[in-house]
Each structure stands twice: as C-alpha cells, then as structure tokens.
Structure 1
C-alpha cells in the first residue's frame, strides 16, 4: 500500500470539502493557549464512499482554522487509536472489534499491516515499552479482556495476558513511583462492557459491568493494583497523564435511560492521595466523553454527544467550556490544545475520526 500524495488527494472531489473548512480545530478556554502557530497532526477520517483513510493534516490558524491534507493512506476498516512507535513510525489500530494494526511512516508514506489472530479481537488502543508492543484485546471464546504482547519491531506475538476485567480500552505506560508503585507499570482501563463475538459492539443484555483500572507489570503481566468506581455503570475508556502524576479518565455512561446518562459524570481522576474518584462537576454532558488530554493546568475532555469540550483543573473545577459540533479528537502541542470537530455544513463529505496526534513537521 502506498501513500496518496497531497496533489493527487486534493485533485479529487474532496478538495472542495477541505476548502470549505470541513475539518476544524477550535480554540479551547481561557487557561490554554490556542492555535497560535501551525500544527501537523496524524489523524483518520471517513470518505464519502464509506472507506477510511489516515494521514497527516496541517492546521492553518486563522479566523476559521482549517486543516489541509498533506498525505493519506487507505485503511481496511474504521480505525481508532493512533500512537507513535519510534521516530517517524506510527501505529494505527482498528476500531473494536478490530482485526488489523498498521505501521505508517509519516515521512515516506510506507505502511506494513498485520492481521489479528482469529481467537481475539482488537479493542482499538496500544502502548509501547522498550522492545514490547501491547494491544488491548478481547478473547473471543471467554469474553475476557487481554493484552497482546508483541515484538515492537516485527509485531510477532509473544504472550497474551489477562487484564482482570472485560473490554480493555486505552492504556498508559507509567513511570516508576507513579501512584505509589515502585516499578514502571501499564495502567489499563477495563471498560467493563461485556460483548459476544456474534454481537459485534453490542453489549450483552443482563450482564453486570466490571469496569476498572489495573496496574500490570510490563514484563510479566502480573496485576499490581486495581481501582474501581462506586457506580458500576460508568465505563472507564480513555486516559491522560498529567505532569503531576495525576491521571484523568474519560468516562462513558452505560445507564439504561437518557436522564440517568446525562446525570452521570464523564471525568474521573486517579491520584496517589485520593485514589479513583468521579467528578460531580462533570455531569449534564450526555454521559459521554470521547477523548482526553492533559495540559499544564489540568485536563481537557471532549463531550461528543453534548457538542462541547470542557477544561478542568486538578481539583475538579470547571475552568472553561466551548461549544463544538461533534467534538472529539484532542491533542496537545506545547501550550496549545487542539480540538477536532465536525463542521455541520459539510458533515456529509468527510468525517474526522475519534483521535489525532500532534506530530513534527
């Protein structure tokens, strides 16, 4: 598979969509510097044909910040998580229940793809520690959450570890001393939603959720610690590490009624001193946080179903809000917070996916 160069990509009908500001980055709140200089981002999107691509886009600051496609590659199905492997090599992981991972060199456009083993599906996120690549997965026979442990260079599967729950989603590599643990570890968000191989993403009816955060030893997979929230219907999904060592967690409520979901918090904080706690200041946001990043002041979450993004300090106080259509993808570049939204006027032409990353350019 080869990259589509900028000239060829923009010569298609999509050039009209891009020129009208289809993909936009919106300023966020008073506590963060916003879009003060151009930024390159690795992102993914859905084409009008229904196919998917990923590539590098460039944010051009202005009155209506616009994104210009620099390079793009075709993807087999819808993607989800994006991660830097090393240097110019990045990893793209299929959306759950996924069956592929792809290495993309953003400088040359070269790709290599691995199809997932048939007994497990991918859950959309990955992490790398030393020579090991970890992917969050679900065992199709048991429904249990697992980590696929691979050689980071060859993608060869080395081991499969249990995560102590169902539906593992995003994970972080945590340094020694974090959260009171004396060894580096993997912090994994078990989303807790039980599914069946024949039902795709649909939750199994009548099953109790078991969402949790777990600390796993990065060399053995041994569980070092586990944290849970009081409300079992809050799914812990995406993670961000603040420079203070505090972790922010984006939540997605699974309550049976719209009113209950709207009353549920969408942000939790994990710290050494206070453990894991959901923030009561993060309610009335449709019960859904799509992404999270940490900046100098605290955490920014995108609330896709509430068409907004919010900024919180480390004490859980709301310090900023912006309305943005289908807000989701977030990235940090220096002091800037970059928020992706879907322009309502041209949403039928190109659809930005859930996550993006600031890259060097």
Structure 2
C-alpha cells in the first residue's frame, strides 16, 4: 500500500498536478496596504473586499506601496522614499523569500511593477549622484537577482505601471532632484521637468510632457485603465495655486487636464496622494491627504463629478462598484458616488497606497 501511495504521489508530482498556491490560500485579499500600528511597528496587510484584515506581516520600517505578483500570492513591499530595501513576501506562509537592496548610490521610490508573466520586477530608483532616474530590473526566477537597469527618461521616477495585456510600462518622472545628504529637500524646483515615459524592453517608445507654465507640477502617481489610458495625479511645487492637479494620456495622444472649479482645486492644497480608475474605466478618483478630500472625475469629459471629505485620506483603489479608501486616521471603507461607508480601525494607520489584487 505504501509503495502504491508513493508511486501515485510521484506520478502526480511528475505531472505537475499538485495545485499551486493562489491568493485564496492567503485569505483571498482584495487589496494590499502598508500601515503603522499603535506600538510603533510597521506591517503589510491583506484586506478583504469586506474590509476585514486577512493577514498582517511585519516590515522592518515604514512601507509605502506594494507590487503584487501576477500569478502567485507573493508581494514586494517597498520602503518609503528614500528607502533602500524591499521585501519579497510569500503571503501564504508569511515568509520573506528575498530582500532587495538598492545599489550603492541609489534609493528606491516606493513603487515597482511586474512583467506580464511575473518573471521580471521593475523598480523606480534615484541615481542621486548623477541626478537621474533609473529603472532596476530584477529576475524573479533567480530569487530576485538584479540583472540590469536603464534610464527612466527623467528625474525622480515615482510610480510605475504596466499597460494591460502587454509588457509596455509607463513611469511618472516627477522631475524633482533629491539627494540623501539633503534629506527630502528639493534641489531643482526652478528647472524641474516632469513627464510620463513609456518604455518596452528598456527602450523609451514615447514621452508625454506637460506645458512649460505647469512645469512645477510634479507627476507622482498614475493609474492605468483596462483600455490603456493613463491617469496621473500631480503635486504642485510652485507659488500660488496650480491650474490643474489631474491629467490623462494615452499612447499616441495628447495630454488632457481635468477641469476643476477653483475653490475645489484650492481645497486639495496642491497635493494628490493617490489615483485610481473605476473598474469600468469611466471614472477617475484622486485623494488629497493634505486637504482631506476625494475628487471623482468623468474620465471622458475630464470634469469634476463629486467631492467627498475624509480626514487624512490617501489610499484608493477600484471595487466592482465605486472605490475602496484608506486613511492615515485608520478609517477604511468604500465610496460610491457621494456615499461613504467607513470603518474605524484604531490598530492601523494606513500609509499612502491601496493596491488592488
């Protein structure tokens, strides 16, 4: 009997029939988010669609965003800028599979993205001695060995996304030069030149820039729709008030800016913390933790639809209907039109981003 069982198991293994772990094995989270806890420690959480915490994994320092592997229940948790580490975590076992360190003279910007097949991880990095942005390339099949890098097409690359059903990526080059010796001081505001850079196989295929009179609007965060449109949120570095904080672009097209009434724009305090498309791509939502506001826009007309209030709101991601929200206050829940349903969570102060799985 034992010999028969061993033979059977051997045949199953040889045939590759043992089921591979999925996100269901990690508690079926709908989102990933980093948080601080009351005792001063930091964690990466898996959050269900019902806003219950399905797993909580320790981080060595404050996190920013995470990149979810497209095939297996694995996440890369990035340190907040100018952090130099990222952890690859098996979200089923909670084990750290690999620890990434930025090369000497570099730091991460808190974001990364996987190739379509999950074999490659791309990370946004600051080459602070050269004052240029770089994209690091890591081989997931070789325990995330660093195998290459290339120019990001600008300064200060922040969020990076992959366009759907392709291995074309887009990165938000915020345009701001920083150096660890100067902390988070911005060194080149008068000459900054933000852009969106699209690249494939390490080669830039298109760059989208904003008008010169808006050049102090740092492009930081981006969202990609199922149709391949890219929405971007900006952070104003100039005097007075910006003329826009939200824009949209598609490969081969022109940059279009959202139309926002002056008072509503002023309430955002020049700062977009995160951005998302609705599941159907018809609505763009942005958050401002400084202003405590959520704006939603008609993605086709680029006009403001609704304004909602939520103190210290930042994380936002699509739900089947509406959007999911997280805030530094610990609140989390959903937004549907102007209606909010929020739960207070005193055990978590949510960091900037909510990553949909």
TM bin, normalised by shorter chain, reads 0.7 to 0.9
Give 4+ residue runs of structure 1 displaced > 4 Å after superposition. Answer: 344-349
Per the TM alignment, residue 140 of structure 1 is displaced from its structure 2 partner at its CA by 2.8
Counterpart for residue 216 of structure 1: 199
- Contact 2:29–2:46, Cα closer than 8 Å, also in 1: no
Alignment match of 1:267 (pick from 246, 257, 282) = 246
Number of positions where the alignment pairs a residue of Structure 1 with one of Structure 2? 304
Structure with more relative contact order (C-alpha pairs < 8 Å, separation 6 or more): 1
Whether 1:101 and 2:86 are equivalent positions in the alignment is: yes
TM-score (norm. length: structure 2)? 0.78
Deviation sequence 1:266-290 (CA, Å, 0-9, x none)? 2111135741133232722211111
Q: Equivalents in 2 of 1:40, 1:190: separation in Å?
A: 28
CA deviation vs aligned residue, 1:152-182 (integer Å, no higher than 9, x gap): 2321111110112110011121257xxxxxx
Deviations 1:288-341 (A, max 9, x none): 111111112221111211111111112111112211111110122322410112
Q: 1:357 maps to which residue?
A: 355
Name the CA distance, whole Å, in 1 between partners of 2:38 and 2:220.
28
Is 1:174–2:160 an aligned residue pair?
no
1:5 matched residue in structure 2: none
Shift of 1:251: 0.9
Counterpart of 2:22 in structure 1 is none
1:227 to 2:215 alignment = no
**1:245 to 1:350, Cα distance in 2 relative to 1, 3 A:** closer
Aligned to 2:133: 145
Q: Deviations over 1:169-214 (max 9, x none)?
A: 11121257xxxxxx84211110101111311322115651121111
Distance between the aligned counterparts of 1:42 and 1:344, measured in 2? 15
More deviation in 243-252 or 41-50?
A: 41-50
Give me the whole-angstrom Cα distance separating, in 2, the residues matched to 1:344 and 1:139.
Answer: 34
RMSD: 2.5
User: How many Å separate the matches in 2 of 1:135 and 1:58?
Assistant: 26
Instruction: Please report how far the alpha carbon of residue 355 of structure 1 lies from its aligned counterpart in structure 2 after TM superposition.
Output: 0.9
Query: Aligned equivalents of 1:136 and 1:97: distance in 2?
Result: 11
Output aligned runs, 1:48-197, within 5 Å. Answer: 48-58=38-48, 60=50, 67-85=51-69, 86-112=71-97, 113-129=99-115, 130=117, 131-153=119-141, 154-175=143-164, 184-197=167-180
Unaligned segments of structure 1, at least 5 residues:
1-37, 61-66, 177-182
CA distance in 1, matches of 2:148, 2:29: 38
Q: Is the contact between residue 229 and residue 277 of structure 1 (CA under 8 Å) also seen in structure 2?
A: no
1:114–1:155: 8 Å Cα contact kept in structure 2?
Answer: yes
Contact 1:229 1:278 in 2 (8 A): no
- The superposition leaves residues 112-168 of structure 1 with CA deviations (integer Å, 9 ceiling, x where unpaired) of 322222221111110111322100001132121000011023211111101121100
SS of residue matched to 2:290: helix
- The 5-angstrom pairing of residues 279-358 of structure 1 reads 279-281=258-260, 283-284=265-266, 285-295=268-278, 296=280, 297-314=282-299, 315-343=301-329, 350-358=348-356
Write the distance in 1 (CA, Å) between the matches of 2:168 and 2:175.
Answer: 20
Q: State the structure with more CA Rg.
A: 2
Which of residues 235, 238, 260 is equivalent to 2:221? 238
> Structure 1 residues 316 and 156 mapped into 2: Cα distance closer, same or farther (>3 Å)?
same
Using the size of structure 1 for normalisation, the TM-score is 0.77
Q: Distance in 1 between matches of 2:44 and 2:204?
A: 35
**Alpha-carbon distance between aligned partners in 2 of 1:344 and 1:358, rounded to the nearest angstrom:** 18
Contact 1:120 1:139 in 2 (8 A): yes
Three-state SS of the structure 1 residue aligned to 2:144 is coil
SS in 2 for 1:353: strand
